[in-house]
Amino acid sequence: MRPSGIEGLWIERSSVHQDHRGSLHEWFRASRFTDATGRPPAIAQANCTVTRRGSVRGIHFATPGQAKSVACVRGTVLDVVVDIRTGSPTYGRWHAERLDGESPATVHLSEDLGHAFMALSENAVVIYLSSTEYAPGRARAVHPLDPALGIDWPLTPVLSEQDSSAPTLAEARAAGLLPTGTPRTGTPATGTRSSA
C-alpha cells in the first residue's frame, strides 16, 4: 500500500494469481491494512454496484464519517477521492485513480473523505467495504461537477437526480455539512491535485 497526496488515502496494487481454471485476486487483507494505516479495519457493510458507461456515483460521504475500501472487479472506472475536511491542508483537493479488473488495485479511504467514481466501460462492477452501515439520514453529497473542484471526468457525466441536485463544496461548507478538523490518520499530505 502506498499513501497518496491526501492524508488518509492509500492505494494498494494487488497481484492476480492465474492458472488453467481462471484467476484469484486478493483485494483486501486486514493485516496489510493495519500495517499501512496503523489501525485495524472496521467492516460493517459490503456493497457491489454495476454502473453504466459515463455514469458518476458521488461525491458521497457520511456524517459521522465512513471509511471505505474500493475495488473494480470488472470493467474500468475512474475512482476519485476528495478532501472535504475543512481543517485539512489539502481541503478541496482530489486524487483520481484508474481501477480495473485487469490490473487490480484497491483504494482505501479514511472517514471524512468524499468518494466518487465514473464508469469508463459498460457495466463496470465495483465492490467496496464500509466501516459503518448505510443510514439515509447520515448520507451527504457534494456536486461532482463543481467547477471549483475541477475534476477531470474523461466522459460526459451521467448523474442521478440526487447527485445533480447536491450542493457545491462551498455551499456544503456554508451549510455546515462538511466534516471539520484536521486529518486523523495517514501520512503528511503533499502536492496539489493528483491523478493517475
Q: What is the grid cell recorded at 86?
A: 475543512
User: Among the options 95, 108, 115, 128, which is catalytic?
Assistant: 128
Torsion angles phi and psi, residue 11, rounded to 5: -115, 130
Q: Can you tell me the distance from the alpha carbon of 76 to that of 94, in angstroms, rounded to the nearest whole number?
A: 19
User: Among the options 17, 60, 108, 143, which is catalytic?
Assistant: 60
Is 134 an annotated catalytic residue? no
Q: Can you tell me the distance from the alpha carbon of 55 to that of 109, in angstroms, rounded to the nearest whole number?
A: 21
With cell 459521522, the residue in question is 64
Is 60 an annotated catalytic residue? yes
CA 107 from centre of chain = 6
Q: Can you tell me the distance from the alpha carbon of 106 to that of 108, in angstroms, rounded to the nearest whole number?
A: 6
Q: Indicate which residues carry an active-site annotation.
A: 60, 128
